[in-house]
Amino acid sequence: MLDPIDTVFAALANPTRREILRLLRDEGQQPVQQLANHFAMQRPSISEHLKVLRDVGLVSEHKQGRQRYYFLEGAPLQEVQEWLVPYERFWKGRIANLEVLLASGITQPFLSSKLGEISTTFEAKRTKSARRVEIDHPEPEEMAPKAD
């Protein structure tokens, strides 16, 4: 059985469904036809996307007269956000480390050593295979920004 968050991710994987969610977020509740007007597809196709979104709890509907209005439900998105928090912390830490490295002024020796590692790795792979791999690495001074 699938974890409920898996079904939310599957629903969010489709760009049309993400755009429907954006429209509902930005413009509030809307009937199917009003949503369909934003797309180059017929109303039944939009209804199918809305069904997927409704089944995973990302949208709800209510009937008003002959119209069915759809609106965004935030709870599944909150679950996704909670799932993403550790990854956000990871990337924020990496960016902070990069900022420290850039501020320290030691980026040129660091980049030179990394280019050396890359070159050594490719050289080892080249000698293991019959094919010759040529990689042109710029010298560190060529990588520095040019003064205007």
Helix (H, G, I), strand (E, B) or coil at 39: coil
Is the pLDDT reported for residue 135 higher than 60?
no
Is the pLDDT reported for residue 83 higher than 60?
yes
The number of angstroms, rounded, from the C-alpha of 128 to the middle of its chain's C-alpha atoms is: 37
Averaged confidence pLDDT in the chain: 80
Is the pLDDT reported for residue 55 higher than 90?
yes
Task: Measure the CA–CA gap between 4 and 71, rounded to whole angstroms.
Answer: 20
- With a CB cutoff of 8 Å and minimum separation 6, the contacts of 49 are 14, 16, 17, 20
**pLDDT tens-digit profile of 5-29?**
899 999 999 999 999 999 999 999 9
Yes or no: say if 11 and 17 are a contact pair by the CB < 8 Å rule. Answer: yes
pLDDT at 12: 95
Residues 121-126: what's their mean pLDDT?
53
Task: Measure the CA–CA gap between 102 and 77, rounded to whole angstroms.
Answer: 35
